[in-house]
Amino acid sequence: MASYNTMSSDTKTVAVSYNEQTSGNNSISEESAIVAAVPKKTWRSYVWDTFDKSPDERRFLFKLDAVILTFASLGYFIKNLDQVNINSAFVSGMKEDLGLYGNQLNYITTAWTVGYVIGEIPSNMILTKIRPSIWIPFLEVVWSVLTILLAKCQTATQIYVLRFFIGLAESGFYPGMQYIIGSWYRKDELAKRSCIFHSSSAIGSMFSGYLIAATYRLEGVGGFHGWQWLFIVNAIISLPIAIAGFFLFPDVPEITTAWWLTKEDIAMANQRMVLEGRAKRGKYTKATFKKIFSSWHIYTLVLLYIFFNNGTGYGSQPAFALWLKSEGYDVTAVNTYPTIAAAVAVLFTYIYAWSSDTVFRGARWPPIVFAGAVNITTNASLAVWDIPRGWKWGSYILGVIGSGISGLTFAWAHEICGDDNEERAFVTASMNELAYVVQAWLPLIIWQQVDSPQYHKGFITMVFIAASMIVTAFTIRYLHHREVSRKRQFAGA
């Protein structure tokens, strides 16, 4: 039984005790911790949210960040390194070596997407039943083995098959890690962690350019081409991190047995989630699914993420690199100049996160609207195409800053669905899955390889998608405010 003890209004703290029956963790007998019900806010919180917390909570969050954020960010860095490596390899010799002169790159992307889509929702549902410290590292090991096999592919068909299973193995990672982050962090901490995690994708994109430039020099070593070494190096980096996950990953607060967390840490973790109104793990029943599908949550949040995911990144096509190649730049320039865009995307990801948690006081919609407005401007410019060369560079570089709002959309979903753990897991997985369902076919229509580098259909479509994302964000804001008001009225009654 959880007991509540509200302290004075000056301290704004709550004491919560957990026994071994309610905590879901037999390592806890009877622990109590003190955490601020309303987190203290000074100028220091604008720098980093832990600076205004108690020493005990600060130490706890330091350990939590060191493990969860490190594992999540490294894992996602490698996943995006792999995704970008396919494009980098394509423009750095794979196309010519394997004779991929049609729309094979589109089909390679689609094969991965189909595998990814199939696995996402089942994987997140499994996370509510199996320990994440077993499931996620297991998928990581499988992914690493499949990735290194790409170096041995000799035909497009072999690549299609491997990319499908790589997508399947990867499907549980991003939505799964977002679910885990939402199970440990409070509202004033959530956007920063989600966005730091997501920013590793842009860092992976940025690093890929330098990696391909380096591995290009390994041409012929061991009988492999430079582009094949990309996949070998990727697997070598990822496998040790996957294995470490079995020993370090903390699961979720109510079932964690992580050796690096004390009993006091675990009690504090559970208490923090009680204060946030986050529900513990339960069961999927007919009533659960009825509640999920009768709510506006799943429909609007999924729609928001579809518009986000398909409105940035040029349909996974290396649009910037292909334009540079068409302009006569060499392999090194083609692979390194796009890293400028990735670096800018990382910077804006952090700006979105810090501004949302501080300046906008937890509101997620302002950065989303801003990103949509930038997408409209840059894509409209590229659709015109005959624009000043400097602004074309600017449009490509600024055109990817919208990728940084992914963490905010998931933070918003965790807060909206926080009082039902199963809904939260299902909705966050559905957001990612259905976004990739659209990504499986939309690029085949508007981002065709044969249209490069002047993807007129693609750029025009992005303008309308960005406008739709803005409208959806305002709709969610209205519906959420109305729902919160009704809950408050009901509680008062």
Reported as a single tens digit per residue, the pLDDT across 245-293 is 999 999 999 999 999 999 999 999 999 999 888 888 888 888 999 999 9
Give the containing element (helix H, strand E) for 380: helix 365-384
Question: Contacts by 129-133 with C-beta closer than 8 Å and gap 24+?
Answer: 131/251, 131/255, 132/176, 132/180, 132/249, 132/251, 132/252, 133/245, 133/246, 133/248, 133/249, 133/250, 133/251, 133/258
Residues 235 and 147: beta-carbon distance below 8 Å? yes
What pLDDT is attached to residue 98? 78
Distance CA 306, CA 252 (A): 27
Distance CA 285, CA 253 (A): 23
**Token pair recorded at residue 80:** 């995006």
User: Is pLDDT larger for residue 185 or for residue 113?
Assistant: 185
Give the containing element (helix H, strand E) for 141: helix 132-149
Q: What is the dihedral of CA 414, 419, 421, 424, to 10 degrees?
A: -30
What pLDDT is attached to residue 32? 46
What pLDDT is attached to residue 418? 86
Reported as a single tens digit per residue, the pLDDT across 319-353 is 888 888 888 888 778 878 888 888 898 899 999 99
The mean pLDDT value for 389-396 works out to 92
Residues 301 and 431: beta-carbon distance below 8 Å? yes
- Residue 493's pLDDT band (boundaries 50, 70, 90)? low
Given a cut of 90, is residue 91 above it in pLDDT?
no
User: Is pLDDT larger for residue 210 or for residue 333?
Assistant: 333
Given a cut of 70, is residue 375 above it in pLDDT?
yes
Residues 58 and 235: beta-carbon distance below 8 Å? no
Reported as a single tens digit per residue, the pLDDT across 425-466 is 899 989 988 998 888 788 888 888 788 888 989 999 999 999
Reported as a single tens digit per residue, the pLDDT across 148-166 is 898 888 888 888 899 999 9
Residues 314 and 451: beta-carbon distance below 8 Å? no
User: Is pLDDT larger for residue 139 or for residue 84?
Assistant: 139
Given a cut of 80, is residue 317 above it in pLDDT?
no
User: Is pLDDT larger for residue 220 or for residue 399?
Assistant: 399
78 Cβ contact list (under 8 Å, min separation 6): 204, 234, 237, 238, 241
- What single-letter amino acid sits at 265? D
Given a cut of 80, is residue 212 above it in pLDDT?
no
Strands (E), 209-362: none
126 Cβ contact list (under 8 Å, min separation 6): 135, 172
Given a cut of 80, is residue 410 above it in pLDDT?
yes
The mean pLDDT value for 128-142 works out to 91
- Residue 106's pLDDT band (boundaries 50, 70, 90)? confident
311 Cβ contact list (under 8 Å, min separation 6): 372, 375, 402, 462, 465, 466, 469
